Every structure is written in structure tokens, then in C-alpha cells.
Amino acid sequence: MTVVTRFAPSPTGRLHLGHAWSAILSHDFARARGGRFLLRIEDIDGTRSRAEHVATIVEDLRWLGLSWDADVVFQSARLARYAAALARLRAMGLLYRCYCTRAEIAEAMSAPHGAVAVYPGTCRGAPERDAPFCWRIDMAAAVERAGALDWTDHGRPIVADPAAQGDVVLARKDAPASYHLAVTVDDAAQGVSDVVRGVDLFAATHVHRLLQALLDLPTPAYHHHPLLAGADGERLAKRHGAPALAAMRAAGEDGAAVAARLRAGVGVPTSGP
């Protein structure tokens, strides 16, 4: 089977070294196996996605010396696919409308520290009303329908535990899909055999595995990697003030040299498992 990997950034901000490392790992995984590497722009969030970020992402990746093997796929052009998947899940009776506001959800989810906060199912079984809503999955019903599931991470079997994520959102109030639904549909549609991504998405994979089972989609092999951390040991994030690749590029840094340093693990302290 041909190895197919992908890098799937959301164009809601500029990429930093953590993204570069993730893209390189995914790219090199495919290249080392004679496989294909794809670029997918996850721009279903119409309010936060920006065209100028897309252009910058493409330039950043080229600057790093990465190449991809097919036209870039934009999730914003694929909303009908997500709507079809959503309709299938609705027809199974596994979704419900949630009318909760952000404030109501924040209050309901302010669990005592230590506990994993999940949506408590306030709107499950609530009567329909004329108000904006998102679609949530009835997780207990979905898990019962799908039965026991597992997936592999770095070749090790992992028992899927989607129930721990609660009744996640599958279509947002302002978009016909959520990250979980779009990523599951697209990884299958693009024939992705191996998902190489940060360990911050490990929990999400339990949900993706469940959706694959419900939608009769294949399950890729997963390879979650540790996250790059700053000098202070904190993981790099946009809000952490990590230098944007675009700024490094503008300052005249050599992208190939940056990529080589990341590959060699020079100055790449990592956090997480």
C-alpha cells in the first residue's frame, strides 16, 4: 500500500517552528517510504481563517524545502461532503441539536480541578426551538452502536475511548462541520494511510476512530509526535510569542538550514509524551 501523509494547518495564524517540525516529520515519513505527502488547508472556520495566512503557509513550507504531491485541498470547498456525513449520522439517530451559548457551556464545564470537563449533555432530548444550534453526537449511543474499537499509535495498539470526550460538536453553529468531522472525512477521501501530527491531538483521535467506524471509513495508522517547547520548557503556541516562520524568512534566515536543524534535533526541546 502506498504511504500517504498530510500536513493540515488551520490558516488562523502564522506558522511557527512547532508547525515546521510537524510538517517536516509528516513529509519525511512519506518520502522515506516512497510515499506521497499532501497539504490540506483546514479553513472551515470562516470567521478566523484568512486567505493571507494560506499564502504565507505555502511560502513557509516552500522556504523549508518541502514539496507536496497534489493540489492543495481546501476544506472550505468540501462542505457538501461534510454535510453528507452529518446527514448519515443524523439518520442513525446519533446527533442532537445543542442550543447552549458559549457562556452556558463554560459554566457547565467548569469542573473541579483535575477532572476532565466534558459537555454534560444539557440539550440531549431537549425540544426543538427557534434558536441557533450546533449538532452534538450522543456519545453513549454512538459508542454502543460502534462497539469496541482500537487504533495504533507508532504501531502500538490503543483501545479507543471516545466516551471520555463526551458529546463533542460535529457541526458548529456557524459552520456545517467541526474539526472532528471534517478531518475524518478528508483523511479517508484523500487516502491518508498514516497520520503524523502532534500529541495534542491524541485525545481527538479517539473521536476520529469512532467516526470512522460509524461512517464505514478506513482507519489510518497514527504517529503522534511530541510538541516542540520553548527554552522555558513551555510548548510553543501562537500565544506563546514563538517567532513566526514568516518573520524568520523575512529576517533572511535560510529555510533549508532551519529544516536541517529541526531534523537533527538541534535546539528542539520537546514537551509531552
Candidate list 4, 42, 61, 160; residue touching ligand GLU; CB under 6 A: 42
Rounded distance between C-alpha atoms, residue 98 and residue 157, angstroms: 34
Grid cell listed for 20 = 515546521
Candidate list 4, 5, 8, 235; residue touching ligand GLU; CB under 6 A: 8
**Tell me, what amino acid is at 124?**
R
Does 134 participate in binding ligand GLU (rule CB under 6 A)?
A: no
Binding region for ligand GLU (CB under 6 A) out of 2-10, 85-93, 145-153, 219-227: 2-10
What does the DSSP assignment read for 111-146?
PPTTSPP----TTTTPPP-SS--EEEE-HHHHHHHH
Site for ligand GLU in 178-217 (CB under 6 A): 183, 197, 201
Candidate list 5, 9, 175, 211; residue touching ligand GLU; CB under 6 A: 9
- Length of the chain in residues, anyone? 273
Among 31, 90, 173, 238, the active-site one is 238
CB of 53 to ligand GLU, least distance (A): 11
Rounded distance between C-alpha atoms, residue 199 and residue 64, angstroms: 22
Sequence-distant (6+) residues with CB within 8 A of 70 are 36, 38
Is 238 noted as a catalytic residue in this protein? yes
Does 10 participate in binding ligand GLU (rule CB under 6 A)?
A: yes
Tell me whether residue 16 or residue 249 sits nearer to ligand GLU (CB atom): 16
Question: Which residues belong to the active site?
Answer: 238
